[in-house]
Chains A and B, each alone.
Chain A
């Protein structure tokens, strides 16, 4: 193979051509969550049903009687993504449909906060669902309020700059890993091939599968819509949001190994929500990212 052909092959898009998401949705410009949905459906295909609680996607899909998706959706209560999906799966099984993939699709508030009880219950029972948390790191649909997924240092409307969030983001992946479910993966809209590959892998696994998808939000992060992919990629490359998977709660594999991690400061400076951070606070973010990265490396080695 010629060097040109090799280069061509390396950059060829491997995403399925099937489109189950139409234009006409109601997302903001540069919305990461919208891309995440599109990629997930490309991986799972049409035999999929979605349970979507209160979150940006409750609106993005479109108001009654419209829907921008070509798969069925049940709009469920805020804290019930997992429990509704569990019921849907049981109902489909009871009526003879054993093939359809049932997905709970929730934001970070619906996952890290109000929905964590139902999620933990489903994970402990190992209910046969895929739970996807698209994480834009705050309650964006209600107007940018902090959630337990909001990172240290971030401004939100309930963590004003004089009183910014001073606690780290909850480690939702570790919580799910502690349930020893068969499959957990992180994914980012900047790496669609990696996301689709892992989602396809998850589709063929039975039991509870959990995805933590990084989904930048220009509206809430005070970033430029055209920087969404750039920010997501920077977060992956500086170790702020590493791409990895955990099988059976034990076997951790880093999907994108980083020879050197870029400083987190460049990433923070592109977002208005971190504008107020002083050098010492930026250093604190860097230290936290470094510590997290070290933990991840240790868990891969162990």
Chain B
């Protein structure tokens, strides 16, 4: 059914269609509508789930972990400070192999207080062992929640579905809300092989000495290495059932491009408009939008970049002392590989500042004028 809904409600519909069994959440701007709608769905019986109104995000993730280990499909959503408060439990969820799916609305970290978008909140959780899916449209949000549960439960690795504050969370778009019967066909019920039950008493997560710990983490990495192929496979399957394929990356006019932007989130769609305008002006431009950040789609990124003369990575985040975080990752993907183009890193749009098509064209002009890669980060739209 086609509906005009906000990005936050796209998360709610995704969690509902996935038949989440336990939802545990704490309010934070700009996430609130996600759980408000889910709360109503639980109250009116649209969704048969336990809704726990916890007293903090830390408890939200702890109770999702408890629900997941008891064998239930668990969902939560948060943003920025809330995500940071969960940090300890994010390690716990991934290390304990609990396939929770969480919506995160990208919001800049305080201080100063900001409720507007950038990606430093979710990228600060890079090394927790969660998969990270960055969305650019409300359609992609609802679809990705459903796919994320399938991938997460297959690998027993939790997944974050991420969207920009306001630019997507509060923006209304036409969304084809998937049919429940089709979702049920695509996403079977969660049936973990072991769970917390008196019928099969086990101790989960006890004291683990040096003779065992490393193997647990090795298995996490090995299963994470299976994720790219699984995301593509389940993405193609999604396409067969719902008519929309989901992948690791979203290349736009990259086939014959000489210059590409590497982008993510809603800026990834703004970049497409800039590409169209550059092409109209005779520049063979393209846009490589990275949809999945963890696992990092090394192969897909190399495939595109190996065919272009130069690439500009535009980050809506900054790792202070190193630069844009996607930039670091893309550099590591091409390192030591012959035939890879020079990369130039740009930081733009922090704390909700707009990233405009004009700025993308400014990036393109700057990058194309440079003969080789530069270490120095170029700041776009900053008042110096």
Contacts and interface: CB of A to CB of B under 8 A. Distances in A.
Interface stretch (A68-76, A144-152, A278-286): A68-76
Contacts of B74: 87, 91
Interface string B20-57: 01101000000000000000000000000110111110
Interface in B180-223: 196-198, 200-209, 212
Contact of B65 (A76, A95, A124): A76
B325 interface: no
Q: Residue among A87, A88, A117, A120 with the most chain B CB within 10 A?
A: A87
Interface in A46-79: 46-49, 51, 58-59, 61-67, 69-77, 79
A48 B196 CA distance: 10
A64 B66 contact: no
Given A58-B207, A74-B196, A90-B24, A84 B63 contact: yes
Contact of B206 (A75, A90, A93): A75
A87 B52 contact: yes
Contact of A94 (B22, B204, B212): B22
Interface in A120-145: 120-121, 124-125, 127
A86 B52 contact: yes
Contacts of B329: none
Chain B interface category by residue count: 35 or more
A210 to B, nearest CB: 16
A91 B198 CA distance: 14
Contact of A90 (B52, B88, B92, B196): B52
Interface size class of A (residues with CB under 8 A): 35 or more
Contacts of A74: 66, 69, 196, 204-205
Which residue, of A83, A85, A100, has the highest number of chain B Cβ atoms within 10 A?
Answer: A83
A280 to B, nearest CB: 42
A83 B74 CA distance: 14
B63 A67 contact: no
A288 interface: no
B207 A63 contact: yes
B207 A90 contact: no
Nearest to A70: B201
A97 interface: yes
B66 A90 contact: yes
Given A94-B72, A95-B70, A84 B65 contact: yes
B68 interface: yes
Interface in A90-128: 90-95, 97, 100, 117-118, 120-121, 124-125, 127
Given A49-B196, A91-B69, A83 B208 contact: no
Q: For B59, B66, B196, B208, which residue has the most chain A Cβ atoms within 10 angstroms? A: B66
B24 A87 contact: yes
Nearest to A96: B71
Contacts of B69: 74, 88, 91
B52 A80 contact: no
Interface of B: 21-22, 24, 49-50, 52-56, 58-59, 62-72, 74, 88-89, 92, 196-198, 200-209, 212
27 contacts: A46-B201, A51-B66, A69-B201, A71-B198, A73-B204, A75-B203, A76-B205, A77-B62, A77-B89, A77-B92, A84-B65, A84-B66, A86-B54, A87-B68, A89-B66, A90-B52, A90-B70, A91-B70, A91-B71, A92-B70, A94-B72, A95-B72, A117-B55, A118-B62, A121-B54, A121-B55, A124-B55
Given A73-B204, A121-B55, 11 more contacts: A62-B203, A63-B206, A64-B208, A70-B201, A72-B198, A84-B66, A87-B65, A87-B74, A90-B24, A91-B21, A97-B197
Interface of A: 46-49, 51, 58-59, 61-67, 69-77, 79-80, 82-95, 97, 100, 117-118, 120-121, 124-125, 127
